[in-house]
Amino acid sequence: MELSALREKLLKRLLEALPGALAHEPMRAVPVGSTIPNFQHKLPPKPGAVLILLYEEAGHIKFPLIVRPEYAGAHSGQISLPGGKAEIGEDAIQTALREGEEEIGIDRTQVDVIGKLTDFFVIPSNFLVTPVVGIIHDPIFRADAREVSRIISCTLFDLLLEGAIKTKEITAAGKYRMMAPHFEIDGEVVWGATAMMLNEFRTVLLEP
Residue with the bigger pLDDT between 77 and 157: it is: 157
Residues in CB range of 118: below 8 A, 6 or more apart: 18, 19, 20, 21, 24, 131, 200
Q: Residue 142: CA atoms inside 13 Å, Cβ hemisphere, count?
A: 6
Domain boundaries, the chain: 3-34+46-206
- The residue among 65, 61, 81 whose CA lies nearest residue 155 is 61
The pLDDT tens digits of the residues spanning 106-142 come to 999 999 999 999 999 998 889 999 999 999 999 999 9
Which residues fall within 8 angstroms of residue 151, CB to CB, at 6 or more apart? 64, 65, 66, 67, 104, 141, 143
The span from the CA of 5 to the CA of 9, in Å, is 6
Residue 175 has pLDDT above 80, yes or no: no
The phi and psi torsions of 152 (rounded to 5 degrees) equal: -105, 130
CATH class of the domain comprising 3-34+46-206: alpha beta
Q: Is 175 exposed, middle or buried (0-12, 13-18, 19+ CB in 10 A)?
A: exposed
DSSP 8-state symbol, 45: P
* DSSP of 176-193: EEEEEEEEEETTEEE-HH
- 14-55 pLDDT, tens digit per residue, is 999 999 999 999 999 998 877 666 667 778 889 999 999 999
